[in-house]
Amino acid sequence: MRLVGEQVEVSRGERSIFDGVAFDVPAGQALVVTGPNGSGKSTLLKAIAGFLKPSAGTVRLEGGDPEKSLGEHCHYLAHANALKAQLSVDENLSFWRGFLGGGMEIAAALDAVGLPGIGDLPAGYLSAGQKRRVAIARLLVTHRPIWLVDEPTSALDAASEARFAAIVAGHLAQGGIVVAATHQPLGLTHALALDLGALSGRRAA
């Protein structure tokens, strides 16, 4: 399996957010996307997920399930944690597990993110860091080979950042792909890098 982007451009109206973006991410590899605010990090993730259509270039998956679209191969973890405050943690994760297909058991996923025994709590009672960890647990309870994660360690403490790095390493070891948009180091060794700020600077020049 291989995620490939060739000369990708995304525009809003007549304004180009970025252009000429290229990447080639094989199974078992992570791509870390960096750049200043406004350089298009989140936009690129949305284009890969299929939420935005590139105005030029292509994004494709080689070697995936031919019966599924690229977006159906992806988990998209955005800035928002996609949790219903009035539902319990278990109910939130059960919904995603049922909707997208089963992966890890919920209790095991919560243990993996350092939140054992909180399944009965309403999601609205959780701290910002706990909500982010439950959102990361969503990646585990439903299997998708490609993870698109936007500032995944936002609101996390150092111990939780280390857990996330270990979770990503496990996903990659199983042949998964991760594309992470971030301002912060993620502790991912041997990750590929894409600096959208450098592309913006080249265009401005």
Of 10-19, 49-58, 195-204, which gets the smallest average pLDDT?
195-204
The DSSP letter of residue 88 is B
pLDDT digit string, tens, across residues 88-114: 999 999 998 988 877 899 999 999 999
Task: Give alpha helix (H) positions in 113-178.
Answer: 128-141, 158-173
Q: Which range is least confidently modeled, 129-143, 152-166, 185-199?
A: 185-199
Residue 73 has pLDDT above 60, yes or no: yes
Say what the pLDDT of residue 205 is: 33
In this predicted structure, the answer to whether residue 48 has a pLDDT above a threshold of 90 is yes
Strand pairing of 2-12 and 15-26?
antiparallel
pLDDT at 200: 56
Whether 204 has a pLDDT exceeding 60, the answer reads: no
- Contact by Cβ (8 Å): 139, 176: no
Q: Residue 95 is inside which H or E element, if any? A: helix 89-100
Strand residue runs (E) in the chain: 2-12, 15-26, 30-34, 56-62, 74-77, 146-150, 177-181, 192-195
Residue, of 200 and 54, whose pLDDT is higher: 54
Task: Judge whether residue 203 has pLDDT over 70.
Answer: no
pTM of the model: 0.92
Per the prediction, the chain carries an average pLDDT of: 92
CA pair distance 121, 25, nearest whole angstrom: 38
Section 173-194 average pLDDT:
90
Domain 2-204: which CATH class? alpha beta
Torsional sign, CA 147, 77, 79, 165: negative
Is the pLDDT score of 185 beyond 80?
no
Using pLDDT thresholds of 50, 70 and 90, give the confidence band for residue 189: confident
Tell me the C-alpha distance between 137 and 102, whole Å.
12
In the chain, what are the helix, strand and coil shares in percent, each to the nearest 5?
35, 25, 40
The four Cα atoms 43, 143, 145, 162 give a dihedral, to 10 degrees, of 80
Q: Count of H helices and E strands in the chain?
A: 6, 8
Neighbours of 22 (CB within 10 A): 12
What is the per-residue pLDDT across 15-31, written as a single tens digit (0 to 9) for each?
A: 899 999 999 999 999 99
